[in-house]
Amino acid sequence: MKTRPHLPRLSRFPHITRLTRLALPLRAALAALAFASAAVPAAWAQEKTSVAQLAFLTGTWRGPSSSGTTAEEIISAPEGGVMLSAGREFRGAKCVFFDLVVFAEKDGVVNLIPHPNGKRSADIFPLVKLEAAAHRATFENKAHDFPKVFIYELIAPDHLRITLTGDQKGHPAKEVFELKRTK
């Protein structure tokens, strides 16, 4: 038969029980203070959003980028809290880049989850600003290098502009895609 090791009863050490009673409320107060003083992410301060609000992006788009490539984006309709975008960039007849972007709702926030060249990025870009009347959505992750910001803007019913900004090799960088609807 196994015996339990002898553990001293806390009542034999009244100073420990008093300290424990004082430490618990103090610990809770410190945790609340730390939470209140922490910077609130921009996505928390914003109203709840849904993927359905990005329906203006749906379609097949093609056009030039400021880096000299021709880009193609195929963006699905929103359904079930998810939209998908499959993109390719061409230089001449050669595909030089491809990606999958997932727009997914989580806890009332829409996140952009990139998969450049087929590999899921460790970084997620929350929707930080949605200008529904202007058909403009801004996703941002300041910890990422390039891009830090994705801006999707429907300029006209047949014209989608995607602007990427951030840092490359320690310098500000920007790439703009001027896409026309093909379908």
State the number of CA atoms in the 13 A half-sphere of 111 facing the CB.
15
How many secondary structure helices (H) and strands (E) does the chain include?
2, 10
Cα separation values, 157 from 1, 54, 135, 179, Å: 80, 14, 10, 11
Residue 45 has pLDDT above 50, yes or no: no
Q: Confidence band (pLDDT; 50, 70, 90) for 48?
A: confident
Cα separation, 90 vs 98, whole angstroms: 9
Residue 47's pLDDT band, with cuts at 50, 70 and 90, is: confident
The chain-wide mean pLDDT, for the chain, equals 83
Per-residue pLDDT of 114-167, as tens digits, reads 999 999 999 999 999 999 889 999 999 999 989 999 999 999 999 999 999 999
Which stretch of 4-8, 46-50, 150-154, 172-176 has the lowest confidence by average pLDDT?
4-8
Residue written as tokens 């610990």?
27
Cα within 13 Å of Cα(100), Cβ side: 9
User: What's the average model confidence in pLDDT over 30-57?
Assistant: 60
* pLDDT above 60: residue 87: yes
pLDDT tens figures, 2-22: 555 554 554 454 554 444 444
